[in-house]
Chains A and B, each alone.
Chain A
Amino acid sequence: DAGVIQSPRHEVTEMGQEVTLRCKPISGHNSLFWYRQTMMRGLELLIYFNNNVPIDDSGMPEDRFSAKMPNASFSTLKIQPSEPRDSAVYFCAVSGRLNTEAFFGQGTRLTVV
């Protein structure tokens, strides 16, 4: 996880508010992934980017979710408006080459009340 820095580590927000999760990958990784982890559904891939371009967003649950990667060293995942069922741990991960391992950040624990 040394290759990925996520912020904040914890976020508590009220239902209906906008939430922005941030990810700063260390350079040299071409692919970036956003995952959501819950007890019920385990690890779900939400979206992934390759060379800053979104490749597959089929895992994004609803239009309330959006992700951007304006450059190779920064990505955001936004939820607007947030709902209690969005409560989960959100992970950012990166990989350098095709079919190599992914390196995970420490995650952001989101609680929507």
Chain B
Amino acid sequence: DAKTTQPPSMDCAEGRAANLPCNHSTISGNEYVYWYRQIHSQGPQYIIHGLKNNETNEMASLIITEDRKSSTLILPHATLRDTAVYYCIVRVEGNNDMRFGAGTRLTVKP
């Protein structure tokens, strides 16, 4: 019962913006969009989350479409250390079961 769809892999040139898409066409009104990443062999790392407004923090920006059916995570200046698997997750607020799918494997190339 996958709630999100992400491309399995993407490449990005070092120093360029990495735009990672996520489709969540069945999202409901009380579900948030979360993004995590997992660098090889390490534990996942929380990046950002949002409900309907665009969000930005020191790591990334999250752009959510007006109909909330898709979103994009933007890493403004990708570095080699951003190479990781990126997970897009939708979850009802207060639900403690965060379901991680297959994610997108982003490879940043020099």
Our verdict on whether A and B bind, yes or no, reads no
